[in-house]
Amino acid sequence: MASESLDVVDFVVNKGHGVRGLAEMSLKVVPSNYVQPFEERLDATQVVSDESIPVVDVSNWDDQRVADSICDASRNYGFFQIINHGIPEEVLAEVQAAAHRFFEMPTEEKVKFKRDACGGGIAKLGTSFSPGKEKVMEWKDYLSLEYFSDETAATDWPSICKKIYDVLLKGLNLKGFDKSKELLMMSTFAINFNYYPSCPNPELTVGVGRHSDGSALTVLLQDDVGGLFVRAPDGSSWIHVPPTKGALVINIGDMVQLLSNGRYKSIEHKVVANPTKTRVSIAIFINPALQQVVAPLPELLESTGEKPLYREILFLDYFKYFFSKGHDGKATIEWAKI
């Protein structure tokens, strides 16, 4: 079936074949639905080759250098990788293998998990980011597992998340993380299994468009293919986040930027497609409670005497606005500015 005669949206979205279905057709040219405007593509001249995001060894959380490195990275890059975090490499490898097994199942099995087919289930299959609302689609399929029960979420949080929050709060000269901050910083979460098939024209499209995460914190496991780029501190170039065996990528989300009144930065990032390899990543988005009002921390403003840069927002409203459009850089956090 030639791509010119194919109703791409119907095939990919409605029938649930996803981008993997396109990749299985051995297309010579990427369908026009996926051709990004020139300014959204990434070429080598935009990449800074001599700069990288920090890699932090967290084998000893009591070492002040660990806290200093995390806070510095969160202020300057919004991204860092952690190693020696205590999660066995074989566990991480099995999670990646499970993602491959799911996306490589027959379409008739996967479509049982489509958003319009699974009712109230927590597992939802999707493609691109927001089909029908974005101007150009992204070369990615995903399975999202969403948890909105505060009680369930609170019992399942990895200790790493609490330790990072504790470090970030103390880095603002505030009291460390405790139960009083759970609704505000880690009450609901989503796990996305992302699948990026090989692409015939990777230079014309993106796996994920440039954006910052609407979460409070994101924990990402990426495979050895590579392709994640983050905006450099100069605001114009990009830094590749090279796969590091056994590492987890941590990035600051919009909610922590808002809570810290801009001290910690949620940074634009994107994923490029690959001409020969399939890429898999697994992201955990850690969020406030949906009905939680989020604003710059009052104790921070009181201690510094500064004015808030952001208005109070209901996280549910922010969540809805984030998904009401295609990826568009930092537009969502700008929406919350005073």
- For residue range 1-15, list pLDDT tens digits in order: 445 557 888 999 988
Boundaries of domain holding 94? 16-24+38-335
Question: Is 1 part of a structural domain of the chain?
Answer: no
- For residue range 112-126, list pLDDT tens digits in order: 887 665 555 678 899
- The rounded percent of the chain whose pLDDT value lies above 90 is 72
Whether the pLDDT of residue 154 is over 80: the answer is: no
DSSP result, 234-279: TSSSEEE----TT-EEEEE-HHHHHHTTTSS----EEE---SS--E
Question: Is 227 part of a structural domain of the chain?
Answer: yes
Question: Is 10 part of a structural domain of the chain?
Answer: no
Report the number of distinct structural domains present in the chain.
1
Question: Mean pLDDT, to the nearest integer, of 97-101?
Answer: 95
Residue 299 tokens, joined = 């104790």
Question: Is 183 part of a structural domain of the chain?
Answer: yes
- The rounded percent of the chain whose pLDDT value lies above 70 is 93
Question: Is 308 part of a structural domain of the chain?
Answer: yes
- pLDDT confidence band for 201 (50 / 70 / 90): very high
- pLDDT confidence band for 203 (50 / 70 / 90): very high
E strands within the chain? 55-57, 79-83, 123-127, 141-147, 188-196, 208-211, 217-222, 228-231, 238-240, 248-252, 269-271, 279-287, 293-294, 313-314
Strands 55-57 and 79-83: parallel
Q: pTM of the full predicted structure? A: 0.92
Residue 111 tokens, joined = 């479509």
Report which DSSP code applies to 93.
Answer: H
CATH classification of the domain holding 78? 2.60.120.330
